[in-house]
Amino acid sequence: MLDQERIPLSKLKQAFDLNGQDAETVISALWPDGVFPYVLWEMAYRSHWQEAAHYNTMYYKALEIANKTTFYKAREISSFPEFDPQEHKVPLLHIYHDRIIRFFRELSAVIFVTDLMEGVNRLINSTYEKEKNDKEIQDDIEYFSNGLSCIESEHNPGTHRPFKWGENITAERFQAVFEDKAKFIAGSGLPFFSKIFIDSIALDKNTAIKYLLECGYSLQQEVKGISQALVERIKAMPVQPPGETPTEPPTTIKEEAVTEPSASPSPMPEEPPPEPPASSIIVPRDLWEGKTPKTVRAGMMEKGYDNAVIAHVLFYWCQLNNKKQIGKLLGDDPDQDDSTHLRRTNKLLKKAEALTITST
């Protein structure tokens, strides 16, 4: 289930009656930290496709061992595409579209259509309101699914159609079915894919609605996740520039500025050693040096340090370069998708840039 802080673009379009140009404008306004192109695809992958692909790979490896040959070649798919919001400063969606379509083509060839369609159906149901599913998309998906099913059925003379995991099929038939499916997929334009990809892009819900309201859009109809009550609450939110925090006025400097100069200036006193700015955050070395990331996190949390400071220490001082691991350490739910962990870390590190963090 998509967390409540995000909303698929399709539902935002429906709620505010947005056209394609409007949708592109919202994406550009929220890019990069408020846009999540892969989150719904990754949910379908983790819940339905990953295990099926892993099972397939294990089957091929077993065939290689049993037949003492590499003829069958393990059909191991590449890892799920990553989305780094800092990779591009402008929303180059065609790059992310091409990455996910390559992955989907590869995936479709190496798992059975029953497993594939379970994930596709989850993706569709997460993207669209059930009664608003695009009929043209449904027809295109049905054609694609039927084509793959026919190929599997041609290689399955038994009564079980289509194939399911655990059936007794020969190694040769197992090899042939995926080769024929790869040819079919290569010749298919996947016409439904581009529209689903755009509509499935998730956005930061509150920020997107706030932006639309400020641009003069109004709620046209309620959809799941966007109610009139929510819109009214967002309308009432005070306007505050992102990242801006109230600061104390520099009273000392002002007092010095209004002091009248003496008639005869006295010798300059010896200046004391410079002190750290009042805003400096000091992290004792014994809290982080030579310690594991989990120990650093636990120790700093116990001392009341903000997550942004902890992320800074882990990334720059402890040399923990895996941002997804940092996001997982500092998040509430370690089972969230990788893009959520990566986004969390990037936001924390960006917040830490405005701080002066030192060590003793």
Q: Is residue 271 part of a domain?
A: no
> 188 and 59 in one domain?
yes
Q: Is residue 253 part of a domain?
A: no
Other Cβ atoms less than 10 A from the Cβ of 2: the count is 18
Task: Please tell me the predicted confidence (pLDDT) of residue 169.
Answer: 58
Task: Please tell me the predicted confidence (pLDDT) of residue 179.
Answer: 82
Contact indicator for 209, 232 with CB cutoff of 8 Å: no
Alpha-carbon span 9 to 316, nearest angstrom: 35
Three-state secondary structure call for residue 75: coil
Q: Is residue 14 part of a domain?
A: no
The residue among 179, 200, 221 that closes a domain is 200
Nearest of 261, 79, 56, 242 to residue 163 by alpha carbon = 56
pLDDT tens, per residue, the chain with 360 residues: 566 789 999 999 999 999 988 999 999 999 988 999 999 999 999 888 888 777 766 666 665 566 555 544 445 566 788 888 777 777 888 889 999 998 998 888 878 888 899 999 999 988 987 655 567 788 888 888 888 888 887 776 554 444 544 455 566 676 777 788 888 888 777 777 888 999 999 999 999 999 999 888 999 999 988 999 999 999 887 655 444 444 444 433 333 333 444 444 444 445 544 444 445 788 998 998 888 999 999 999 888 888 989 999 999 888 888 888 888 889 877 777 777 788 788 888 888 888 888 887
> 67 and 190 in one domain?
yes
Which two three-digit tokens encode residue 263? 């008639």
Q: Is residue 255 part of a domain?
A: no
> 324 and 185 in one domain?
no
Q: Is residue 185 part of a domain?
A: yes
> 178 and 90 in one domain?
yes
> 189 and 297 in one domain?
no
Q: Is residue 143 part of a domain?
A: yes
**Omega prior to 273 cis, within 30 of 0:** no
Strands 202-204 and 280-283, bridge-based pairing: unpaired
Q: Taken in order 165, 163, 54, 170, is the CA torsion positive or negative? A: positive
Q: Is residue 239 part of a domain?
A: no
C-alpha dist (Å) from residue 69 to 74, 169, 191, 205: 11, 18, 38, 53
> 47 and 164 in one domain?
yes
> 186 and 43 in one domain?
yes
Number of domains in the chain: 2
Q: Is residue 232 part of a domain?
A: no
Which two three-digit tokens encode residue 207? 């920020």
Q: What is the pTM of this model?
A: 0.61
Other Cβ atoms less than 10 A from the Cβ of 347: the count is 17
For the chain, helix (H) and strand (E) counts, in that order, are 16, 5
The residue type found at 321 is N
Alpha-carbon span 313 to 327, nearest angstrom: 13
Contact indicator for 39, 236 with CB cutoff of 8 Å: no
Give the residue numbers spanning the domain of 123: 38-200
> 294 and 185 in one domain?
no
